[in-house]
Amino acid sequence: MKLKQRIVLLAILLVIFIFTKVFLIDNLDTSAANREDQRAFHRMMAGLRVELVPKLDHTLQSPWEIAAQWVVPREVYPEETPELGAIMHAMATKKIIKADVGYKGTQLKALLILEGGQKVVFKPKRYNRDYVVEGEPYAGYDRHNAEVAAFHLDRILGFRRAPLVVGRFVNLRTEIKPVATEQLLSTFLTVGNNTCFYGKCYYCRETEPACADGDTMEGSVTLWLPDVWPLQKHRHPWGRTYREGKLARWEYDESYCDAVKKTSPYDSGPRLLDIIDTAVFDYLIGNADRHHYESFQDDEGASMLILLDNAKSFGNPSLDERSILAPLYQCCIIRVSTWNRLNYLKNGVLKSALKSAMAHDPISPVLSDPHLGAMDQRLLSILATVKQCTDQFGMDTVLVEDRMPLSHL
């Protein structure tokens, strides 16, 4: 064989070797990542049921100190949380030492300080479980039980970006009024035999108070994030205008995602993929009201998108608001880990997992069966949307690897 032919043959063999090696490494990496996703799913399922227990036997720290130490830029709580039951028990039972009107916002809430100095946000019950909120997908009052369900869905999806939430019953006469500020106390009234309050907020009205059953009010309490992690508010790029006849750009421009990708913080880092994860999360719970979102301050786009204020969810189980998925079907990208987790939750697993996760909550049953069933159906719609993307652009383009090492040191 001539020298030239030998060189050509060696070059061809070298190219084949390089491509084979790269292909094998890529497949090994992908396979290893998928196996880790599967192991993470099984760990989540094994620790899904959280029993509210009163003691932390293995530590002298308070539940509030433990929860504060959990928070890092990309997680509100870690994957393994043996202390979660004790923290949620404290949230549901610790003595209320101060009660005030809620922080600024559009919906009724109260800011409570529990024994030990921990702040929590209390959202009162407004609807029975089987009540269906008609009208726009963002219509109606906040749903306290939606906050509880959304927190547990966050656990199930493996996002770990929602503050801790638990249901709680409070006696307005004996637990709230004696420690209430004058500003909150001035909004109390009696309707029939029921104690009520209407608080201070944009839509709060004396004619629309939240009322207890006698003196006992059902609600949810959300753990306040530590003050050492100040929040920064951002306008959601896929937010609605909330004005009849006026569309946001994303509602008529199918290439809108291309424009978003050119603006900070969506042009680099994890934020755009967080937006996609949040669209999946919001579609499952029926939340069409995420017009803004929060991250940690001075994060340069590296902080997670924190899943705060999920109470405009679970309003109508028959309404699947597809526009919530606009970030997904316009950008056609999704994390591999999210895609894997969604597939593990098919065939009724999601409904069963969420029901199990919420079984020990003080206000259980948290959701009606129609809402649980609706989530399983919406999951199928999400998977079908991703498949449309992969059919059009290919798996390698749509499924994005984004695994960031996390530290709780």
Q: Note the pLDDT tens digit of each residue in 173-185.
A: 999 999 999 999 9
pLDDT in the model for residue 313: 97
Q: Is the pLDDT of residue 142 over 50?
A: yes
Torsion angle of the four alpha carbons 332, 338, 340, 346, in this order, in degrees rounded to the nearest 10 = -90
Active-site annotation holds for 376: no
| pLDDT tens profile 247-283 | 999 999 989 999 999 999 999 999 999 999 999 999 9
Tell me the torsion sign for CA atoms 57, 67, 276, 265. negative
Domain ranges of the chain: 95-223, 231-306
The amino acid occupying position 220 is S
Asked if residue 163 has a cis previous peptide bond (ω within 30° of 0), the answer is no
- Catalytic entry in 37, 274, 289, 309: 289
Dihedral pair phi/psi, residue 294, rounded to 5°: -115, 145
Buried b (16+ CB within 10 A) or exposed e, 81-107: bebbbbbbbbbbebebeebbbbeeeeb
pLDDT in the model for residue 55: 80
| pLDDT tens profile 49-105 | 999 988 887 777 899 999 999 999 999 999 999 999 999 999 999 999 999 998 778
Partners of residue 294 on adjacent β-strands: 233, 306
> Residue holding tokens 């606009």?
326
Distance in angstroms (rounded) separating the CA atoms of residues 362 and 91 = 11
Distance in angstroms (rounded) separating the CA atoms of residues 35 and 407 = 21
Kindly report the average pLDDT of the chain as a whole number.
91
**44 with 158: CB under 8 angstroms?**
yes
E strand or H helix at 336: helix 336-344
| pLDDT tens profile 159-217 | 999 999 999 999 999 999 999 999 999 999 999 999 999 999 999 999 999 999 999 99
Show the tokens assigned to 22: 């790269």
